[in-house]
């Protein structure tokens, strides 16, 4: 087991290093942050640029900058933003909770919607309700999430005036971003719940439960759902990682002060330290979740451990 853990951990470290290396080198291929600072500022000389580059540290070779970043990663010091010089850790500290909270609520919305709908579709297989749910799920999968977001804003903020169109201030401001994300996730999850439910419902113990005369709800929610929960939980867990990446667009539309907004601004202004930190934190989380899932499997299933 220890060997397995060490192997998985080493793999995770390798993945994080590979991701940060790719991102750090790719962002340096285009544009110069020193020149960005001068925009609209009139003429600048090579001397001016050299001064700024020296102050930002972008005059050093890439490998030196990258090693400094790795060193900062270990000591949890991500440096300062090129735009305004705020500590990157402060920016991440503000943005990460906002994103995580939104992601959790979106997941919750999706779970609450997709489980009953998926079960309904499974039990009414081939009938009207099943068809309707499947069509709706296809529609949900097909349209872009920012479009849904804009439509929700039009309806609930401008026409009805019920919800704030953007920002993070109070409970009401969570509704539209979470619903937008939640609905998109539900479109996929409903299908997953339906198929694993269908599989479970064909098991003999379901037949037994029914034969005992249990109510249909008890059969479905107590016996069937419990048994198909394991693959669902795994899938939802992995989906959470993907969700963190997909939240960028939603944050932009709803002006949500999270990691997506931070990344968006950092790319636009070539703010290397901020972008590197955002990508690193997000990839650490995704890799972390995967690692936990792997380890959990290892505990449960000896076959995986000894592979």
Let me know how long the chain is: 307
Query: What is the smallest separation between the CB atom of 257 and another protein, expressed in angstroms?
Result: 4
In the chain the beta strands, taken as DSSP E runs, fall at: none
SS3 content of the chain, % helix, strand, coil (to 5): 80, 0, 20
45 binds another protein (CB under 8 A): yes
Return the number of the residue (48 or 199) whose C-beta is nearest another protein. Answer: 48
The rounded distance, in Å, linking the Cα atoms of 107 and 235 is: 12
Q: Which two tokens stand for residue 147?
A: 């479009």
| CA distance linking residue 283 with residue 16, whole number of Å | 7
Considering the rule CB under 8 A, would residue 15 count as an interface residue with another protein? no
> What gap in Å lies between CA 87 and CA 93, rounded to an integer?
10
Q: Is 242 in the site for another protein (CB under 8 A)?
A: no
Instruction: Find the binder of another protein among 3, 40, 61, 126 (CB under 8 A).
Output: 40
Residue 166 interacts with another protein (CB under 8 A)? Answer: yes
CB of 254 to another protein, least distance (A): 7
Ramachandran category for residue 79: left, alpha or beta (phi over 0 → left; psi -120 to 50 → alpha): left
Beta carbons within 10 angstroms of residue 265's beta carbon? 17
Which lies closer to another protein via its Cβ, residue 5 or residue 150? 150
Nearest to 97 by CA among 231, 275, 265, 262: 262
Size of the site for another protein (CB under 8 A): 49
13 is an interface residue for another protein by CB under 8 A: no
Among the listed residues 79, 118, 165, 177, the single contact to another protein using CB under 8 A: 165
What spatial distance separates the first Cα and last Cα of the chain, rounded to whole Å? Answer: 11
User: What is the C-alpha separation between 4 and 1, in angstroms, rounded?
Assistant: 5
Per-residue binder mask for another protein (CB under 8 A), 79-98, x = binder:
--x-xxxx---xx--xx---
Complex with another protein: residue 123 or 173, whichever CB lies closer: 173
Q: Single out the residue of 72, 79, 118, 164 in contact with another protein (rule: CB under 8 A).
A: 164
Binding site for another protein (CB under 8 A): 30-32, 35-45, 48, 51-52, 55, 81, 83-86, 90-91, 94-95, 150, 153-154, 157-158, 161, 164-168, 252-255, 257, 261-262, 264-265, 268, 270
């Amino acid at each position: 087991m220890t060997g397995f853990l060490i192997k998985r951990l080493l793999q995770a470290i390798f993945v994080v290093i590979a991701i940060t290396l790719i991102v750090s080198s790719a962002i340096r291929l285009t544009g110069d942050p020193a020149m960005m600072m001068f925009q609209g500022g009139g003429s600048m000389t090579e001397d001016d640029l050299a001064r700024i580059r020296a102050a930002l540290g972008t005059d050093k070779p890439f490998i030196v900058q990258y090693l400094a970043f790795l060193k900062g990663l270990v000591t949890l010091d991500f440096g300062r933003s090129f735009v305004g010089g705020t500590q990157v850790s402060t920016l991440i500290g503000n943005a990460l909770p906002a994103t995580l909270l939104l992601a959790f609520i979106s997941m919750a919305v999706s779970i609450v919607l997709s489980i009953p709908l998926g079960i309904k579709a499974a039990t009414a297989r081939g009938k009207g309700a099943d068809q309707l749910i499947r069509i709706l799920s296809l529609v949900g999968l097909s349209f872009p999430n920012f479009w849904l977001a804009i439509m929700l804003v039009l309806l609930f903020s401008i026409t009805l005036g019920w919800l704030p169109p953007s920002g993070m201030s109070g409970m009401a401001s969570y509704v539209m971003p979470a619903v937008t994300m939640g609905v998109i996730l539900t479109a996929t999850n409903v299908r997953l719940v339906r198929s694993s439910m269908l599989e479970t419902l064909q098991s003999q113990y379901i037949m037994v439960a029914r034969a005992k005369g249990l109510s249909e709800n008890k059969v479905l929610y107590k016996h069937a759902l419990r048994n198909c929960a394991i693959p669902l939980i795994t899938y939802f867990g992995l989906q959470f990682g993907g969700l963190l990446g997909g939240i960028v667009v939603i944050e932009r539309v709803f002006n949500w002060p999270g990691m997506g907004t931070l990344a968006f601004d950092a790319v636009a202004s070539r703010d290397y330290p901020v972008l590197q930190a955002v990508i690193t934190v997000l990839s650490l989380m995704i890799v972390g979740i995967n690692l936990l899932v792997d380890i959990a499997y290892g505990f449960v299933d000896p076959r995986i451990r000894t592979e």
